[in-house]
């Protein structure tokens, strides 16, 4: 369910499976597991705090109690549970992650190619490579590039395009920001670039890679 609605942070659902370690799988999952450079949500199943972990064999999201001694043995198959995601953290991750797509688009507008990304709070960055003609090797070139990226981001946020997911003919989930950018992605995103606030960035070059470190927040709820 986290793929269809970033803002759905509380849901009553049913337990599909349990393990002896107290882990659970639920029918409708609102928890985003770590992946694609984006950190995992944190949340609760009833009163038990859990971390979602993706099981790569089954594709299921497993909810693992944070406290390994937590007793979830009272939960059994088909039981109804209330699941809840830490909403401020969810919105912070979604804003940082969506801003990452925006910065990728901004970098591509300068002729750069994406090589890596990290959307963790406090260390968010997008990395690019560029040909000699467009790589900002001198300090003043880096500052000029940072100004161009900031201007691109500010104009895009002003234009407020929707951020929408669709499925392509190969079954991949494609996330598009208006007509600025589209990429295969399994993360959580804000509804529109107008939901982003306090986007700022700096540009460094390390071992031939351009590193754009950035910050972003979700616009305060109205």
Binding site for Zn ion (CB under 5 A): 175, 185, 187
- Residues listed for the chain: 222
Q: How far apart are CA 210 and CA 64, in angstroms?
A: 37
Of 85 and 175, which CB lies nearer to Zn ion in the complex structure?
Answer: 175
Least CB distance to Zn ion at residue 42 (A): 19
Q: 3-class DSSP state for residue 89?
A: helix
Of 33 and 187, which CB lies nearer to Zn ion in the complex structure?
Answer: 187
Half-sphere exposure of 87 toward its Cβ, with a 13 Å CA cutoff? Answer: 10
- Which stretches within 110-221 are classed as H helix? 139-159
Please say whether the beta carbons of 67 and 49 come within 8 A.
yes
Of 15 and 41, which CB lies nearer to Zn ion in the complex structure?
Answer: 41
For Zn ion, the nearest residue by Cβ is 185
Of 64 and 119, which CB lies nearer to Zn ion in the complex structure?
Answer: 119
Going by C-alpha positions, the residue among 14, 15, 81, 26 that lies closest to residue 52 is 26
Least CB distance to Zn ion at residue 6 (A): 10
Going by C-alpha positions, the residue among 47, 82, 81 that lies closest to residue 65 is 47
Least CB distance to Zn ion at residue 130 (A): 23
Least CB distance to Zn ion at residue 3 (A): 10
Of 53 and 174, which CB lies nearer to Zn ion in the complex structure?
Answer: 174
Least CB distance to Zn ion at residue 185 (A): 3
Q: To 10 degrees, what angle do helices 87-109 and 139-159 make?
A: 120
């Amino acid at each position: 369910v986290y793929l269809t609605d970033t803002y759905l942070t509380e849901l009553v659902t049913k337990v599909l499976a349990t393990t002896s370690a107290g882990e659970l799988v639920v029918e409708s999952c609102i928890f985003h597991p770590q992946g694609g450079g984006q950190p995992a949500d944190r949340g609760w199943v009833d009163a038990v705090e859990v971390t979602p972990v993706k099981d790569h064999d089954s594709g299921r999201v497993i909810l693992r109690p944070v406290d390994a001694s937590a007793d979830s043995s009272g939960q059994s198959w088909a039981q109804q549970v209330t699941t809840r995601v830490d909403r401020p953290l969810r919105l912070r991750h979604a804003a940082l992650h969506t801003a990452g797509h925006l910065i990728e688009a901004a970098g591509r507008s300068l002729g750069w190619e994406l090589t890596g990304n990290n959307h963790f709070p406090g260390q968010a960055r997008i990395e690019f490579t560029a040909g000699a003609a467009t790589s900002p090797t001198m300090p003043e070139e880096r500052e000029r590039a940072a100004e161009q990226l900031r201007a691109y981001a500010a104009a895009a946020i002003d234009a407020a395009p929707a951020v929408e997911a669709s499925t392509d003919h190969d079954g991949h989930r494609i996330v598009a920001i208006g007509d600025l950018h589209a990429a295969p992605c399994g993360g959580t995103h804000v509804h529109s670039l107008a939901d982003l606030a306090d986007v700022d960035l700096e540009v460094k070059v390390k071992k031939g890679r351009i590193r754009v470190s950035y910050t972003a927040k979700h616009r305060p709820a109205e």
